[in-house]
Structure 1
C-alpha cells in the first residue's frame, strides 16, 4: 500500500492523481492507494475513485495511531503551519515507527541541513528526527514552486511591478506538478532508500526576467523593483501579511540574493524522466485562468 499524507492539499492532490494514473495504466494494482486526510467529506471524491481514506491530524497525535501500517510506503508531506511543525512532524514520525512502515519519503526543503534561511529550520529538525528514528527513508528536498510566484499575478498586474529584496539573485523553481511527479516516481520505484534528492527546476531565472516574461505574455507593462529588506517587509505587512511570516518571506529573498536557491542539480528532471516545466509555461497557464 502507498500512503499519502496531506492528500487533499495542493501537492497531495497532484500526487494522488499521479498514482491513480499509474493504476489506470496498469502500472499499479487497484486498491493500493491510501490518503491520510483531516476531513473525510473533503476527500469523498477520492474514496469514490477507490482510494482508502484514513482520518488523522498532525496536530492531534492520538489520531495518527491508525494512519500507517507495517510494510507501507508513506509520502510524508510537511505540514503547512509554520512554527508548529516540529511537534506535528515528530508525531508523524512516531506513528510511522510504531507501525513499522517500509519507507518514509519526506518532502523537506532545498538544501536540507545546509539551507541558510529561517524557513528551513523546522525541516532540518524533521530530517534529523527521521535519521534518528532508523526508518527507511527518502528525503525529497523540494525547491521553490513556480506557483509561489504565479499565484501573485493579479497583484503584479494591478501594480505593474514585481517587488523583491532578492536583488539580482536567481531562483531554480519548478511547477508543483513536477515535484508531485517526482514523489510518484519514488513511491512506485525502487532503489531510492537512503537518498536525499535536491529538487529544482532546470533553469534558474531572475526577478527582472520574470517581470519581463509576465509583461510579454500579458501585454501589460510590468517592471522589477529591487527593494531593501526593510522596504519589502514594510510593503508585505502593509498588505496584511502577518509580521512574522513577512519576515520569513524577506529572509527567503535574502537567501535568493545569496544564491541559495539557484542550484540546478538535475535531480528533479532525472526522477520524472523529462525536463522540468519552464516558468514561462506556468505564467501562461496562470494568465489563462484569469
Structure 2
C-alpha cells in the first residue's frame, strides 16, 4: 500500500509529504508525483519514491497507481485548465482501482459564489462520477496568500485592499498539509467532506497590524472601493484580467465567503490552527 501525493512538488504537497514522514509513515510507502525535478530529487534523497508527471499529459501517469493506493489530488494552480488536468488524474486512478482519493477543494465549492469555486465543484463532480471512495477537503484561505501584500507593505508602508469589513479565517499551509496527511492515513474520513478554516477570523485592520509586526514597520490600511482597487492595480502594472481576479477575491472576502470558523481543521489535526501573526512571521 502506498500514499500517493499528486502535486508533491508544490508548497502544500511538499509539506504534506513532510507531515506523512513526521507521522512515521515509511518513506518507501510514499510516492511523490509532480513536475519539478529538483524538488522530486530532494524528496528522493529522503527515501520517498518519486515520479515526474504532467497532468496535461495522461501518459505521464502510466504505472503510478495500484489498487491498494490512497491518492491525494492537490488542486492545480493553472486556473482554467484544472478540471481537465484533475480529470486525467481521476481517470487514471479509477482505471487502476485505487483504494481512495482525497481532494483539496474550496470552501462550499458546490454552492459558493467564490470566484475559485466552479473548477473545484466540477472536480468534485468528476470524483463522484468515478465511483471512487473519496474524502473532500475544502481548504479555506492560506495565510501565505498574503505574501505579496506583505512585500508591497514592506516597500510602501500600505496595505491596499477592497475587502471592506469582511473577515477572513485563514490558516497556514502547514495546517492544511497536516489535515491532508491525516485524511490520507485515516480511512474513517472516507465519504466525508470537511470545510477547513482557521480557528479565528480577522479583518483587514488586524491584517495590517499583523503585517506591521511581522516586517517591523508601520503599515497603514487603504480600504478602497472595488473600482478604485482595480484602477490602482492596473496603474501599478497589473493587467486588467489579473487585477480583476484580485478584486473579485476581495469582493468574495467582503461578502463573508472566507470568514467561516467551524473548528473542523483544528479538530482534524488535533491542535489549534496557526494564528495569523505566527503564520506571517514563519512565511516571511
Matches of residues 196-207 of structure 1 in structure 2 within 5 Å?
Answer: 196-207=193-204
Q: TM-score, normalised by structure 2?
A: 0.95
The residue that corresponds to 2:135 in the other structure is: 138
Question: Which deviates more, 76-85 or 58-67?
Answer: 58-67
CA distance in 2, matches of 1:21, 1:169: 36
**Is residue 158–residue 222 contact of structure 2 (8 Å, CA) maintained in 1?**
yes
Q: 1:94/1:154 Cα in 2 relative to 1: closer, same or farther (>3 Å)?
A: same
The residue that corresponds to 1:44 in the other structure is: 41
CA distance in 2, matches of 1:86, 1:245: 20
Q: TM-score, normalised by structure 1?
A: 0.93
CA RMSD of aligned residues (A): 1.5
Deviation at 1:234? 2.3
**Is residue 40–residue 52 contact of structure 2 (8 Å, CA) maintained in 1?**
no
The residue that corresponds to 2:9 in the other structure is: 8
**Is residue 69–residue 99 contact of structure 2 (8 Å, CA) maintained in 1?**
yes
Structure 1 counterpart SS, 2:199: coil
Equivalent position to 1:257, from 254, 272, 277: 254
Deviation at 1:282? 1.8
**Residue 186 of structure 2 corresponds to residue 189 of structure 1:** yes
Deviations 1:49-68 (A, max 9, x none): 11111221111122123222
CA distance in 1, matches of 2:132, 2:243: 35
Structure 1's unaligned 5+ residue stretches are none
Aligned length: 283
Deviations 1:158-177 (A, max 9, x none): 21111111101000000000
Matches of residues 279-290 of structure 1 in structure 2 within 5 Å?
Answer: 279-286=276-283, 289=284
**Residue 229 of structure 2 corresponds to residue 232 of structure 1:** yes
Deviations 1:104-163 (A, max 9, x none): 000011112122122111111101111111111011110000011134312112211111
CA distance in 2, matches of 1:233, 1:41: 37
